[in-house]
Amino acid sequence: MRRDYYAVLGVVSTAGPREVRHAYQRLARQYSPDINFWDAQARALFEEIAEAYRVLSDPAARAMYDRFGAGVLGDGALPAGRRGEDAHVAVELDFSQVVRGARVQLDVQRFSPCGACGALGQAGGARCAACAGRGVRQQRERVDVAIPAGVDTGAQIRLAGEGHAGPFGGPRGDLVVSTRVREHPFFRRKGESVHCEVPISVWEALLGARIRVPTPAGEAVLVVPPGATGGQVFRLRGQGLPRLADEGTGDLYVTIRVEMPTGLDARTQDLVRQLERLMPAEPRAALARFRGGGA
Ligand SMILES: [Zn+2]
């Protein structure tokens, strides 16, 4: 976004021509390319200062700028080829699209060079009617966007040179894509870690088992040790989501839920009673000392 010309020169909007000139001279000395040749930031600032002065020192251009802003200033007032502004667009992604990354096509409302006047802003000596003399027109265009694997809600992907076209043939600004990732019915995500809950049978809990569990990228085998209990969490390393900033992948945390059999018939009830006799259990024996508030 282009800064306000008055702010660039550090003067108030009612500043007279002398004040504008003095402010420009002081800043131009300070940011002169002669003494800041290797400083890219200073050089960019110098260009900004020069542009602001070109407009504010010209009474006609300044009056236009005061009324309409920098967008309407035609040739003569502004150097051709000013960079366009950044365009913004939002995208909703499925969980599966952030697992491996995806290519999406987005409809972007952005300024593009006016075809009627060849981005010149004028035709046959008069202002171009199609673009009102700006050299650019607002259009809806399809842009191909690569979504990197691992993005989360609230991420911003910047595509250089895909934003609004600058007036009079200026280069495009950037396109900033804001992401929102839809919830998944099974996987819950915390950054690059993924959590899920997997049911096992009471027999698998008692005897241990190798079970297949879904992962964001496919499937993995989880080894449940004998005597596993409900609520126990197992970590599968590297089975989460790719990390955006650095190499590697997060982990998948699987919480076990033990499903108790229901609707036992007479025969199975009898078998369970036999088991009870084989393995008598007193799980609440240690609670006896708390009776009546004892400790
Ligand atoms: Zn035009």
CA of 73 to the centre of ligand 1 (A): 14
Q: Can you give the pLDDT of all 295 residues of the chain as single tens digits?
A: 467 899 889 898 889 989 998 898 888 877 776 665 566 677 778 788 888 888 888 887 888 788 777 765 654 444 456 788 999 999 999 999 999 999 999 999 999 988 888 887 887 778 888 888 888 899 999 999 999 999 999 999 999 999 999 887 778 999 999 999 999 999 999 989 999 999 999 999 999 999 999 999 999 999 999 999 999 999 999 999 998 877 789 999 999 999 999 999 999 999 999 999 999 999 999 999 998 888 7
Grouping H, G, I as helix, E, B as strand and the rest as coil, residue 89 is strand
CA of 140 to the centre of ligand 1 (A): 16
CA of 166 to the centre of ligand 1 (A): 13
CA of 137 to the centre of ligand 1 (A): 7
pTM of the model: 0.65
Q: DSSP letters along 108-157, please?
A: EEEEEE-TTTTTSSEETTEE-TTTTTSSEEEEEEEEEEEEPTT--TT-EE
CA of 6 to the centre of ligand 1 (A): 29
CA of 167 to the centre of ligand 1 (A): 10
CA of 124 to the centre of ligand 1 (A): 11
CA of 54 to the centre of ligand 1 (A): 24
Phi, psi at 174, each rounded to 5°: -100, 160
Sketch out the chain's domains with CATH numbers.
Answer: 5-72 (1.10.287.110), 87-181 (2.60.260.20), 188-283 (2.60.260.20)
Among left, alpha and beta (phi > 0; psi -120 to 50; other), residue 20 is: alpha
CA of 165 to the centre of ligand 1 (A): 13
Query: Which among 191, 194, 168 is positioned nearest to 251, based on CA atoms?
Result: 194
CA of 85 to the centre of ligand 1 (A): 18
CA of 109 to the centre of ligand 1 (A): 17
